[in-house]
């Protein structure tokens, strides 16, 4: 799911979550791909007939009106869309006795798994909320003989899991010790450290169903010694998809590992964001008249039809996001939401929350 789809889904969920009926009269329907949409219409017609038995006249009318409007909406579809369909209908008026029956239908950006009909005081939104959350995660391990970091890449966020400092001494031995004895002590301490890191990886990642793979990074050959040693379970070894040479450990090492794993993570949204922000910053350094940033300056560029790619922080109000995105699309420009959870996202926030790569310079 790209950033635009997530924004639109988040906006719809925010709106639908705001409605609450006095009685169980808000209708929610989920239809998976391949299911006959005509059968759903027939089921809703049966529900409308059953609703005649509702004692409260106002509740009965609201339920029947919601179902009839839902049926008319579903008739617009010849077949169930590729990812299924979610539809919602009900009286959203906040005034007692007033009627304002509305209907929404959405083709989710990722497939719906189950068929569902529900009538309640609120719309049933949990399946859509679940779709909006990152489904996959990558385990990140960065280590050398002095320290190790275990983290997760979930969607666009790097989530630290645990950090360890080792007690393995440097290569200079203490006075009076033979080189061989010092080397044995150092090697045994390194093995104890790797065992500690391996135990943590096995514990943290063992039951993580969303774990798509593990990437191991570090300077020199230490990462290979760690992988080849008997420190990780077979299940964790099977999850390793790459080892990457990096120059740092610690927090900077984890960030470098993600950056150097660009090819592996090319389909992940975090890389699309990094590439867009890096392109913006490169243009700013080399051709500063081909970028602009800050809401008012970006608005001026949009009005001039000069924006090729619009970068918008998630921090901005949804109404402003829609306004900016519509102006970009009106002139054939593209736009992208940038997370606040990444280093690149914080950079954009500090530059005024929006930035734009321009087709041509403007005054």
* pLDDT at residue 163 in the model: 95
Separation of CA 177 from chain center: 54
* pLDDT at residue 254 in the model: 95
Which residue in 83, 79, 74, 75 sits closest to 29, CA to CA? 74
Q: What are phi and psi of 129, to 5 degrees?
A: -60, -40
Residue 91's beta-bridge partner residues?
101
* pLDDT at residue 266 in the model: 63
* pLDDT at residue 356 in the model: 97
* pLDDT at residue 183 in the model: 77
Rounded Cα–Cα distance for residues 91 and 76 (Å)? 21
Which residue in 139, 164, 162, 147 sits closest to 222, CA to CA? 147
pLDDT means over runs of 10, the chain (363 residues): 80 94 94 94 95 93 96 95 95 88 91 91 92 79 95 86 84 62 81 95 91 93 93 94 93 93 72 88 96 96 96 92 94 92 88 96 86
* pLDDT at residue 340 in the model: 85
Identify the residue whose tokens are 């087709």: 359
* pLDDT at residue 170 in the model: 66
Q: Enumerate domains of the chain plus CATH numbers.
A: 3-132 (3.30.960.10), 137-260 (3.30.420.60), 269-358 (3.30.1330.30)
pTM above 0.75, yes or no: no
């Amino acid at each position: 799911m790209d950033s635009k789809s997530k924004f639109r889904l988040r906006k719809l969920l925010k709106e639908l979550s705001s409605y609450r009926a006095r009685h169980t009269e808000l209708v929610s329907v989920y239809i998976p791909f391949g299911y006959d949409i005509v059968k759903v219409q027939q089921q809703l017609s049966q529900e409308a007939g059953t609703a005649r038995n509702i004692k409260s006249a106002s509740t009965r009318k609201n339920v029947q009106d919601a179902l009839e409007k839902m049926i008319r909406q579903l008739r617009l579809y010849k077949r169930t869309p590729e990812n299924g369909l979610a539809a919602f209908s009900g009286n959203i008026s906040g005034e007692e006795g007033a009627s304002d029956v509305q209907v929404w239908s959405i083709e989710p950006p990722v497939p719906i798994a189950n068929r569902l009909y529900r009538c309640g005081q609120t719309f049933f939104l949990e399946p859509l909320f679940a779709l909006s959350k990152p489904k996959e995660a990558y385990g990140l391990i960065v280590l050398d003989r002095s320290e190790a970091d275990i983290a997760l890449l979930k969607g666009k966020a790097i989530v630290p899991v645990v950090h360890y400092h080792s007690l393995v001494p440097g290569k200079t031995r203490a006075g009076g010790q033979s080189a061989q004895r010092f080397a044995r002590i150092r090697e045994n301490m390194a093995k104890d450290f790797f065992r500690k890191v391996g135990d943590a990886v096995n514990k943290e990642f063992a039951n993580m169903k969303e774990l798509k793979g593990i990437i191991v990074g570090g300077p020199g050959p230490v990462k290979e010694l760690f992988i080849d040693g008997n420190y990780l379970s077979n299940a964790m070894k099977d999850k390793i998809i790459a080892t990457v040479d990096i120059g740092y450990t610690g927090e900077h090492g984890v960030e470098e590992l993600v950056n150097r794993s660009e090819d592996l993570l090319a389909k992940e949204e975090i890389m699309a964001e990094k590439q867009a922000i890096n392109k913006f910053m490169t243009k700013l350094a080399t051709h500063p008249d081909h970028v602009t940033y800050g809401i008012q300056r970006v608005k001026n560029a949009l009005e001039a039809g000069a924006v090729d790619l619009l970068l918008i922080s998630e921090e901005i109000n949804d109404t402003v996001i829609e306004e900016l995105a519509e102006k970009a699309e009106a002139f054939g420009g593209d736009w992208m939401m940038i997370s606040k959870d990444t280093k690149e996202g914080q950079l954009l926030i500090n530059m005024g929350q929006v930035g734009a790569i321009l087709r041509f310079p403007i005054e």
